[in-house]
Chains A and B, each alone.
Chain A
Amino acid sequence: MKKRNCFFTLYKYEIFKIFKNKVAFATFLIFFVFSFIQGEFEVRGNLDPEDLPRYQAMDGRVIDDGFISEMLAATDEMGEPIDPDELEYDGVRSWVRDIWGYRTALTGINESTVYHKREESIAETYEDLKLSEGEIAYWQEREQKLEKPFAIYDTAIISGVLEGTTNFIIYMIMIVGISLAAIFAIETQRRTDPMIRSSINGRTELYFAKILAGMTYSLTGLLIIVAGFLTYVGLAWGFTGMQAAVQIYLPLAAEDMTMWQLEGIILIMLFTFTFMLSAFALFVSNVTRNSLASMGIVIGACFGIFALSTSVPLKMRILSQTISILSPSIVSSNILYDFRLIKLGRYLTEYQAAPMIYIALSIILTVAGCIIYLKHEIKSN
């Protein structure tokens, strides 16, 4: 009988196997429902919806001397509103205090001192991160291109969108860890391995069909969750403020971009990190041939690296930066605060380099997994 390539039929059956895994399907459904709940509470948790128009009353106004003076007139010395019911200056007040400090009196501040204080804080951050002269020069050049003064926007919705998207990496660790653990392990657990491996398409074709099915499941799952969340937020709250400069939410950031662009970066990080996480989960499932062990290793490794990322000292630059890039915590708006660059011919920011690193690591894991899969032997009964 002539051999035919049945890759897509195999792929279809591998998808079918994942969906027939009740634990995997239930995990996805739970997190899908959570995404809507998150869409509601990420924004509602920041404010009373009825007050939203008052918070947004100053949207679009530039933070200059005039606006700062108005805010100061409505604010006591320690930065609290004189009228506790006043909400209109809350945004600019918070922004100024983020820069000026929450335990410092606001006496005598103006546009010049606030922006100067911001520059001082940025310089301190460069020092804390042990940046090289080249890196500092890179960021200073970017800083100079920023259009100042910035225009204020209420950050309740911005924060909801960005933080909500960030949280999905936790969902994906659970979904990928639980759902993909069985992809290779199932053949050992169900004892179908011997028949598969003695079949013409049971080696390279099936390996890549399994990889593609696993990737499709996790990335499509993520797409559905993100789309559900953004649709809910858009319909329930709108996206007011997403056109603001990122400095309104992250005052020390040096990137000339809007919140939408930052959301785009977080989404790219989320999808590429999930891609790498899926490749890792598939690799572990292939090597261990045990669903529970795979699940434990994938979820444990993610949370382990996450814990390490907060504890490795910054002076151990290479180690701390490597862990930072491999940690799920990189999927966050705070990526704009990690000013450490990666030199690959030219300087790349972490958010520029990380997706390439994730794709390269995924390819390495997939190729290494293929070699291991092809060498796998059926030894035990």
Chain B
Amino acid sequence: MELKASGLTKQYGSKTAVDNMSFEIGKGVTGLLGANGAGKTTLIRMMCGILTPTSGEIEYDGYRVESEEYRNILGYLPQDFGYYPEFTGMDFLKYFCALKGIDKKAANTRCEELLELVGLKDMGKVKVKKYSGGMKQRLGIAQAIINRPEVLILDEPTAGLDPKERVRFRSLIEELGKVSVVVLSTHIVSDIEHIADRIIMMKSGHIIWQGSWKEEQGSLEEFYLKEFE
């Protein structure tokens, strides 16, 4: 279980969003930390195989991220979670079950399980347009883990969650990190400082620090603020 990037670069015209990044991410929770505009979303899209790098490559256990094999074990929650307002929560999840290759019979059970897991059990038959912001985000999380992914990539997943939901969400991620490769992108230090086994800190398309904060001394927040001054 290893997501490996080497010499990864993405340019949009003359702007370099991600510049020659290399890293290896194994099982556990990896926090991708950086201010808005650091290049986190571009990096994540390349990790999900939905954006082609200008140069360099990413592989997971020998599979290219564009491959079917990789997409089969990938779960992804984008920063700006999209949904179909006219679908019920249950329909939305069933649709994603089909997209993830889960057959109809297994899909029913899995959708019910997930609605309960994310606290939307009683909202399954309600149209998504009637959900609050936090409920939509929880539905997005359910969608991301619907296929029991080996690689779970979450881009700013705590946006819209209230403090109680954030705590609940962190424990869920911690659990998933025990069996999967979890990459969690955020600009909020508290989202990851206690659950990330490893942190990649980004600034202007570069890695400015990477490693396990647990091995370091001092406050991650102070270090982060100092780096971004």
Query: Which chain B positions have C-beta within 8 A of A9?
Result: 94, 97-98, 104
Q: CB-CB contacts of B82-96 with A at 8 A, as 1s and 0s?
A: 111011000100111
Query: Which chain B positions have C-beta within 8 A of A1?
Result: 72-73, 100-102, 147-148
B119 to chain A, nearest CB (A): 20
B13 to chain A, nearest CB (A): 11
| A197 adjacent to chain B (CB < 8 Å) | yes
A198 touches B71 (CB 8 A): yes
State which residues 174-232 of A face B: CB under 8 Å: 186-187, 190-202, 206
Binds A, one of B43-51, B198-206, B207-215: B43-51
A190 touches B84 (CB 8 A): yes
Query: Which chain B positions have C-beta within 8 A of A191?
Result: 78, 80-82
| A346 adjacent to chain B (CB < 8 Å) | no
Q: How large is the interface on A (under 10, 10 to 19, 20 to 34, 35 or more residues)?
A: 20 to 34
A3 to chain B, nearest CB (A): 4
Kindly name the residue among A10, A13, A378 whose own CB sees the greatest number of chain B CB atoms within 10 A.
A13
A195 touches B102 (CB 8 A): no
| A85 adjacent to chain B (CB < 8 Å) | no
Query: Which chain B positions have C-beta within 8 A of A192?
Result: 82-84
Which residue in chain A gives the minimum CB-CB distance to B149? A1
CA distance A198 to B45 in the complex (A): 9
Q: Which of B51, B102, B103, B144 contacts A378 (CB 8 A)?
A: B51
Query: Which chain A positions have C-beta within 8 A of B76?
Result: 194-195, 198
Query: Which chain B positions have C-beta within 8 A of A190?
Result: 82-84
CA distance A191 to B71 in the complex (A): 19
CA distance A10 to B96 in the complex (A): 9
Q: Which of B72, B78, B144 contacts A3 (CB 8 A)?
A: B72
Query: Which chain B positions have C-beta within 8 A of A194?
Result: 45, 48, 50, 76, 78, 82
A377 touches B51 (CB 8 A): yes
Query: Which chain A positions have C-beta within 8 A of B148?
Result: 1
User: What are 14 of the A-B contact pairs (CB < 8 Å)?
Assistant: A6-B97, A10-B95, A13-B91, A13-B95, A186-B84, A191-B78, A191-B80, A192-B83, A194-B50, A195-B77, A196-B99, A201-B101, A378-B51, A379-B12
Complex A-B, nearest 9 residue pairs according to Cβ-Cβ distance, in ascending order: A191-B82, A6-B98, A199-B99, A9-B98, A20-B86, A192-B82, A3-B101, A194-B78, A198-B48
Q: What is B's interface to A at a CB cutoff of 8 Å?
A: 12, 41, 45, 48-52, 68, 71-74, 76-84, 86-87, 91, 94-104, 143-144, 147-148
Can you add 12 more A-B contacts, CB < 8 Å, to A1-B102, A1-B147, A377-B50? Answer: A1-B148, A3-B72, A4-B101, A5-B101, A195-B82, A195-B99, A195-B144, A199-B74, A200-B68, A201-B98, A201-B100, A379-B12
